[in-house]
């Protein structure tokens, strides 16, 4: 196996996280990663990415556009062949899922 053609999935995961940190909830000035909206990221050997995430509420005004933005930005990574976002409300999002950084940013600490 040639090492230069092998994609490091951990490195790819870190790149995906960096992309998620560029996407913001329109109502809260914090990125979706720090808000805790990302539940899981799966990468298969074909470099297809599936992201399981939630929204702050089922009535979120960007329920239609945010998953598309996430898919497009993740697909823009050279190593990614395809990306799909699945939205779930199980478990529902709560403020407990936010990072310390997000809580600090929002004055909750």
Higher pLDDT, 4 or 12: 12
Residue 5 has pLDDT above 70, yes or no: no
CA torsion, ordered 54, 71, 23, 78, to nearest 10 deg: 140
The mean pLDDT value for 12-16 works out to 93
Q: What is the pTM of this model?
A: 0.87
| Average confidence score pLDDT of the chain | 90
Residue 8 has pLDDT above 70, yes or no: yes
CA torsion, ordered 42, 44, 46, 51, to nearest 10 deg: -10
Lowest mean per-residue pLDDT among 5-14, 28-37, 87-96:
5-14
CATH number among 3.30.300.130, 2.60.40.10, 3.30.70.260, 3.40.640.10, domain 3-91: 3.30.300.130
Which residue's entry shows tokens 């702050």? 56
CA dihedral sign of residues 75, 80, 84, 90: negative
Which residue's entry shows tokens 């089922």? 58
CA dihedral sign of residues 59, 92, 33, 101: positive
């Amino acid at each position: 196996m040639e090492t230069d053609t092998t994609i490091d999935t951990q490195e790819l995961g870190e790149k995906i996280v960096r992309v998620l940190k560029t996407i913001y909830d329109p109502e809260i000035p914090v990125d979706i990663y720090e808000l805790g909206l990302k539940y899981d990221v799966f990468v298969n050997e074909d470099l297809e990415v599936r992201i399981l995430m939630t929204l702050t509420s089922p009535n979120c005004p960007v329920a239609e556009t945010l998953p598309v933005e996430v898919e497009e930005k993740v697909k823009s990574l050279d190593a990614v062949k395809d990306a799909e976002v699945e939205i779930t409300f199980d478990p529902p999002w709560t403020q407990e899922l936010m990072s310390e950084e997000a809580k600090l940013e929002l004055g909750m600490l």
